[in-house]
Amino acid sequence: MSASKKSGRDFAKADRAAVSGLLKRTTEADILTRLGLESRLRDLDAEIAAQDLEPIETYASAALFFGGRPVVGSIGVEAEFGAGAVSTFQDLVAKVLAKNTAGLGVKGPVANKSEATMHITNIVRGSFGFLLEEIRAQSQLVDTSLKWAVEESSSLLSTFGEADEEHFQTAVSGADKRILATARDFFELMRQHGATLRMVVGENEYKFDSDAVGRGAERASGTELEEDEATMEGQLAGVLPGAHQFEFRPIGGDTVKGKVDTSWTSDDLERWNRELVGVDATMTATVKRVLRHGQITRESLTLVRVDPKTAGKPAPESA
């Protein structure tokens, strides 16, 4: 379900709850009032049922409802703030999409940025906000890559604002420096303008009150990401192709675990299990560290390649 349709369904359900409350307070003497409310309740039930039967949306959409100091009720929002917030959210989505598809470099233009373009298609009420949607000429049966990027971006932002520190660190360890910098810009803009936010993306809804915005701004400014490349001598213990996870036994050390770079397919990893497990090899991995106020709080490995040493064991293709 798209953000606009979910918002419509939520309003219908809220309206139904209000009508039900009024109906419970009517007396037997309020015959006409009761008949009118019962008719309205039937209409709302039919509307909600029809919305629940609508086909699943495969395109990206997000509704951003702003509140706080830059918003005047449901009338309007400060132009500078509104434009900046939408632009920064769009930039975050573009970087997440690039990371998931073409790879996001340390600097330079964001790859496939045009593929991340969303359009403001409507003004949404309930405070004041904007509906952003992906517009494509042809219908699609499966979710677009942009839809996944929007969902990942909104979920990432939510972890900055929630109270669970462990959940935040797990989420941010999967990002990179440029994505973190854009999240920092987003929360700093919200904090400086005294804004709050309710974000609806598909079936999910995220709320950022003033405490969540302040927490998000502090985490974004106090968190750094470091990446290094490391090599280890040892043997591959095994991989899980579906989960893209690995275990490697270094010479003279404890078994290490982590993720396998997504450039390798499940077929590649199944072949690794057949050909490389238990073979003397050199593993090359990316080491990512999450630092909070200069202190390392989390470290993770992403396996990039495995080069076997035993004669007759060819290296994986393109390794």
DSSP symbols for 60-75: -EEEEEEEETTEETTT
Mean local confidence (pLDDT), 68-80 = 91
| Percent of the chain at pLDDT exceeding 90 | 59
pLDDT band of 139, cuts 50, 70, 90: low
**Whole-number mean pLDDT of the chain?**
85
Q: pLDDT value at position 49?
A: 73
Q: pLDDT value at position 223?
A: 94
Q: pLDDT value at position 244?
A: 94
Which of 6-10, 50-54, 268-272 reaches the highest mean pLDDT?
A: 268-272
Greatest extent of the chain over all pairs of C-alpha atoms, in Å: 94
Q: pLDDT value at position 248?
A: 96
Q: pLDDT value at position 315?
A: 47
Residue 255, number of CB atoms within 10 A of its CB: 11
Q: pLDDT value at position 22?
A: 75
* Fold of the CATH domain 225-308: OB fold (Dihydrolipoamide Acetyltransferase, E2P) (2.40.50)
Cβ neighbors of 151 (< 8 A, separation 6 or more) are 201, 202, 204
Q: pLDDT value at position 316?
A: 52
Q: pLDDT value at position 290?
A: 93
Query: Hey, where are the domains in the chain?
Result: 8-52, 61-208, 225-308
Q: pLDDT value at position 243?
A: 93
Q: pLDDT value at position 196?
A: 96
Amino acid at 105: G
**Does residue 319 have a pLDDT over 50?**
no
Contacts of the segment 141-145: beta carbons below 8 A, 24+ positions apart: 141/58, 142/58, 143/58, 144/58, 144/59, 144/60, 145/97, 145/100, 145/101, 145/115
Token pair, residue 41, equals 């309740």
Amino acid at 67: G
Least confident of 80-84, 113-117, 179-183, 184-188: 113-117
Mean local confidence (pLDDT), 50-56 = 62
Q: pLDDT value at position 317?
A: 54
pLDDT band of 73, cuts 50, 70, 90: confident
**Does residue 110 have a pLDDT over 90?**
no
